[in-house]
Amino acid sequence: MTTRRLRTALTAVIALAVLGLAGCGDGKSAGREPGSASSEATGSVTVFAAASLTESFTQLGRDFEAANPGTKVTFSFAGSSALATQINQGAPADVFASAAPANMNSVVDAGNGDGTPTTFVRNQLVIAVPEGNPHRIGGLADLTRPDAKVALCAEQVPCGAAARKALDAAGVKLTPVTLERDVRAALSKVKLGEVDAALVYRTDARTAAADVDGVEFRESAGAVNDYPIVVLKDAADKPAAEAFVKYVLSEPGRAVLTAAGFQAP
């Protein structure tokens, strides 16, 4: 073989080797830092999430799909206790985000979690009252007035358990006119004028700021709820589910949650 032909052959071999190394890389796009929010996931993700996460997770779903073309996120929002029951009864879901550890524990204890749940945010109660606070409610004690109509979440729901803890801490005995299935149902009673007040999360009051004011009260500091998230054992598309959880925990994910009023864990 002549020297010229030898050089041509060597050049071809080197070019093929470079292409081969590029094809055997780690799958990260050029210029993308490890641990970035985008993971190039594909496929569908079904997320069961607490009702109080409705707006923020809907936004996170859109952002995740934009960062990962080819993905589709579907949500089911409800009270955490109801969602946990559905999961344990075999409802198809890939990710569970609960408004309290107790409901998450029921899923994990039943063997339906994949790995250890991660607490991603915290939330705190306020007293939701109609805009302008016409009944001048300033704390939990004001909810015991004879003419005050109050809505609470049922105690098996995280917002109801937190409300009971706060009321007990304040030594307030309260008889609500209604017990609701989730925090959004309790909030809607205030928005519709059916009650004078309801104990809801700070984030929920913020979503209804055009119609509702949130009255802070000191006992809520002792009834803060941790929100855990986990990929489920029977997730149909586990890589996509893991990518969504990673996105929730990423800096862009935390920015959306913080803007909604959630606290860092």
98/132 same-domain check? no
Asked if residue 25 belongs to a domain, the reply is: no
The total number of structural domains in the chain stands at 2
Asked if residue 31 belongs to a domain, the reply is: no
Tell whether the model's pLDDT for residue 33 goes beyond 50: no
179/59 same-domain check? no
Average pLDDT over residues 211-215: 97
Asked if residue 139 belongs to a domain, the reply is: yes
Average pLDDT over residues 240-246: 97
47 or 22, higher pLDDT: 47
pLDDT in the model for residue 2? 41
Q: What percent of the chain has pLDDT over 90?
A: 84
244/211 same-domain check? no
Average pLDDT over residues 215-239: 96
pLDDT in the model for residue 39? 53
Asked if residue 37 belongs to a domain, the reply is: no
Q: What is the mean pLDDT of the chain?
A: 88
239/162 same-domain check? no
Asked if residue 6 belongs to a domain, the reply is: no
Tell whether the model's pLDDT for residue 234 goes beyond 80: yes
pLDDT tens sequence across 174-206: 999 999 999 999 999 999 999 999 999 999 999
pLDDT in the model for residue 136? 97
pLDDT in the model for residue 41? 77
81/165 same-domain check? no
Asked if residue 161 belongs to a domain, the reply is: yes
132/97 same-domain check? no
Average pLDDT over residues 211-237: 96
Asked if residue 32 belongs to a domain, the reply is: no
CATH of the domain at 69: 3.40.190.10
218 or 4, higher pLDDT: 218
Asked if residue 1 belongs to a domain, the reply is: no
pLDDT tens sequence across 51-110: 999 999 999 999 999 999 999 999 999 999 999 999 999 999 999 999 999 999 999 999
35 or 220, higher pLDDT: 220
115/232 same-domain check? yes
193/243 same-domain check? no
131/212 same-domain check? yes
Tell whether the model's pLDDT for residue 141 goes beyond 70: yes
Average pLDDT over residues 111-133: 97
Q: How confident is the model at residue 40 (pLDDT cuts 50, 70, 90)?
A: low
98/75 same-domain check? yes
88/135 same-domain check? no
**Structural domain containing residue 153:** 125-222
As a three-state string, the secondary structure of the chain is CCHHHHHHHHHHHHHHHHHHHHHCCCCCCCCCCCCCCCCCCCEEEEEEEEHHHHHHHHHHHHHHHHHCCCEEEEEEEECHHHHHHHHHCCCCCCEEECCCHHHHHHHHHCCCEEEEEEEEEEECEEEEEECCCCCCCCCHHHHHCCCCCEEEECCCCHHHHHHHHHHHHHCCCCCCCEEECCHHHHHHHHHCCCCCEEEEEHHHHHHCCCCEEEECCHHHHHCCEEEEEEEECCCCCHHHHHHHHHHHHCHHHHHHHHHCCCECC
118/149 same-domain check? no
pLDDT in the model for residue 162? 96
